[in-house]
Structure 1
Amino acid sequence: MDKRILIPTDFSKNALNAARYALDLYSKLNCEFYFLNVFSLDGYTTKSLSFPEPDSAEYRTAQAKSHDSFLKLLDMLKLHNDNPKHAFHTISTFNYLSEAIKRTIAEKDIDLIVLGTQGASGTKGVIFGSNTVKAMEKIRECPVMAVPKNVQFSIPKEIVFPTNYKATFKRRKLSYLIEIAKMFESTVRVLYVSKKHDLTELQESNKQLLHAIMEPIKHDFHNLTENDVAEGITSFVESRNSDMIAFINHKHFFFNSVFSKPLVKEIGYKAIVPILALH
């Protein structure tokens, strides 16, 4: 069965970079790529009380501009990687970005979303743009991957999987991580960051379950003594030059502790790698 991947785009270099990363990551698989552009109109915003009529001149002009931009984008992607396993589809719409994404997920049965990020140059001290953060937090229907600006594809030899072992693991939630690890014979480094390394009985049980689920792939377990979870993960990734971070997004707490603005302002984030948020 083909994999269906959604890539929202504003036709920026950042969005193009994310698209190229996705094409390379899934170069071995049959994929349907859906590119989504939410266009804007002068005088209208998604906060306006009235929406423009689809047959109005300004609507048709904006839609045509989006269509032309898609033609250029597809030409660039085919030059980058003209893969017979890949098919491209484009969607132009005037809508809230989150609503457009959710509608496309439902209508096209999307398996994975790949997003570009704002990058450190966008807003000082912020690695992930607000749209990317919102998508990774709010979209629960499928995994979301964020590809930082200027990160070029390299085989993900090492994937860091941070966890506190407090929630029970399920095979289906980890299926995308395991699929990527199998494709590239990656090693998954399971990372537990805590002041104390003693696990409760429940945590130990969950750790053994995770070990069983990851049995088909290379993996090992690491403990790191660190007061700050986010700082521990960052230093681990940097020191090992890891290629990707994957984590299960539980109830926002872990997400916010890793990607909050204070983290970036306090310690910076030099070893920028793609992030895969599993739900």
Structure 2
Amino acid sequence: MKKKILLPTDFSKNSWNAIAYAIELYKNELVDFYLLNAFNASTYIQDILVVPDEGETLFERSKKKSQMGLKKILLQIKAHGENRDHNYFTASVFDSPLDAVKNCIEAKDIELVIVSNKGETNDLDTILGSNTIDMMEKVRNCPVLMIPADVTFKEPNEIVFPTSFKTHYKRRELTHLYEIAKITNAPIRVLHISKEDELSQDQIEKKALLEECLDGLEYSFHYLENTNVNNGLKLFVQSRESEMIVFINKKHAFFGSVLTKPMVKDLGYSSKVPVLALHDLRN
């Protein structure tokens, strides 16, 4: 059964880098890739926002530019090396990047979004800057894999999975963690950061449930005490030179603050580590 993966792009070097990473990560898998560009044809006239209708010159010019950009990416992919197991589909959409992604996920039954965290000017507030963070926070029905700028694909040496052992783990929620670990042969390092010396009975039971979900993979447990979550995760990843982080973005819980703008900026810009945001399906 083919996977369906969405690749939003603003035609920047960094967004191409994320596309190339996705192609390599799933090089041995059957995949339908959807290349999506959300274009904006709005303009300001005397401080008044003017949004042209379809058929008007500005709209059609913007749409044509978007379509030409997608055609160029297809040529880049062909030059990169064709893969018979991969199919590519393109879409130019007049919408915000976040809404375009949400709508495409629903329309095409997308399983995973892979996107760069930096846009055209390497600024957090440009097209694929703040919008990537919004995707990781607000796209609740599909995992989002953020690829930092200039990270080229290589099979990760290990995947760090931070957890509080307070989540009622579901196999279907951990599908992409399991899959990426399987196809890259990367061991999973389960990281627990706490100010408590011992796990509660509930945490012990949740840990056992997690072990069931990871059955068949190489994994190990690691513990850090007397440090906050953000610093502990950062230090663990840096000290071990880990090459990917995967976690469940459960709102209003232990790791609810991890996907704030400062944390994403810190992980993506400083440590250069791809970050996969999974979601608690009950949220």
TM-score when scaled to structure 2? 0.89
- Segments of structure 2 that go 5 or more residues without pairing to the other structure are none
The alpha-carbon distance between structure 1 residues 173 and 229, as it changes in their structure 2 partners (threshold 3 A), is same
* Aligned counterparts of 1:112 and 1:154: Cα–Cα separation in 2: 19
**Would the aligned equivalents of 1:125 and 1:261 in 2 still touch at CA under 8 Å?**
no
Give yes or no for contact 1:229–1:258 (8 Å, CA) kept in 2: no
2:30, 2:275 → 1: CA distance? Answer: 22
Residue 107 of structure 1: how far off its partner (Å): 0.8
Q: Compute the displacement of 1:260 (Å).
A: 3.9
Q: 1:40 to 1:222 in 2, by over 3 A?
A: same
Deviation per CA, 1:139-172: give whole Å up to 9, x if none: 0111100000000101023000000011110000
8 Å CA contact retained: 1:52, 1:59: yes
Cα distance 1:125–1:223, how it changes in 2: closer, same or farther (>3 A)?
farther
Change (3 A) 1:96 1:249: same
- Contact (CA 8 Å) 1:53, 1:59: kept in 2 or not? yes
Q: CA deviation at 1:31?
A: 0.5
Alignment-derived partner of residue 52 in structure 1? 52
Equivalent pairs: percent with the same residue? Answer: 41
> CA deviation digits over 1:234-278, x for unaligned, max 9?
11111111110000010155253354427867x996431100101
Query: Residues 106-140 of structure 1, C-alpha deviation per residue, up to 9 Å, x if partnerless?
Result: 11110000110128x834899x9211111000001
Alignment-derived partner of residue 26 in structure 1: 26
Q: Secondary structure at the match of 1:38?
A: strand
| Mapped contact 1:230–1:263 kept (Cα < 8 A) | no
With over 3 angstroms needed to count, the CA separation of the structure-2 counterparts of 1:78 and 1:197, relative to structure 1, is farther
Write the mapping of 1:228-239 to structure 2, written as runs, cut at 5 A. 228-239=228-239
1:103-252 → structure 2 map (5 Å cutoff): 103-118=103-118, 122-123=122-123, 129-251=129-251
Q: Are 2:41 and 2:51, in contact at CA under 8 Å, matched by a contact in 1?
A: no
Pair 1:70-2:108 in alignment: no
1:278 maps to which residue?
278
Matched letter for residue 205 of structure 1: E
Q: Go from structure 1 to structure 2 and tell me whether the alpha carbon gap of 1:125 and 1:85 turns closer, same or farther (over 3 Å shift).
A: closer
Please tell me whether residue 4 in structure 1 is matched to residue 26 in structure 2. Answer: no
Q: Distance in 2 between matches of 1:263 and 1:81?
A: 32
| Amino acid in the other structure paired with 1:257 | V
5+ residue gaps, structure 1, are: none
Secondary structure of 1:142's counterpart equals: coil
Which whole-Å CA distance do the structure 2 matches of 1:137 and 1:268 have between them?
15
Aligned length: 274
SS at match of 2:71: helix
Report the Cα offset of residue 57 of structure 1.
1.9
Is the contact between residue 238 and residue 270 of structure 1 (CA under 8 Å) also seen in structure 2? no
Contact 1:159 1:186 in 2 (8 A): yes
Q: CA-atom RMSD, angstroms?
A: 2.5
Q: Tell me the TM-score normalised to structure 1 length.
A: 0.90
Match of 1:256 in 2: 257
Alpha-carbon distance between aligned partners in 2 of 1:268 and 1:61, rounded to the nearest angstrom: 34
The 1:49–1:58 alpha-carbon spacing in structure 2 relative to 1, beyond 3 Å, is: closer
Q: Using the alignment, how far apart are the partners of 1:181 and 1:256 within structure 2?
A: 25
The letter for the 2-side match of 1:261 is P
Report if the CA contact (8 A) 1:161-1:188 is conserved.
yes
Alpha-carbon distance in structure 1 between the residues aligned to 2:202 and 2:245: 24
Q: Is the 8 A contact 1:40 1:62 kept in 2?
A: yes
Counterpart in the other structure of 2:43: 43
Q: Which moved more, 1:230-239 or 1:247-256?
A: 247-256
Q: Report the residue type matching 2:248 in the other structure.
A: I
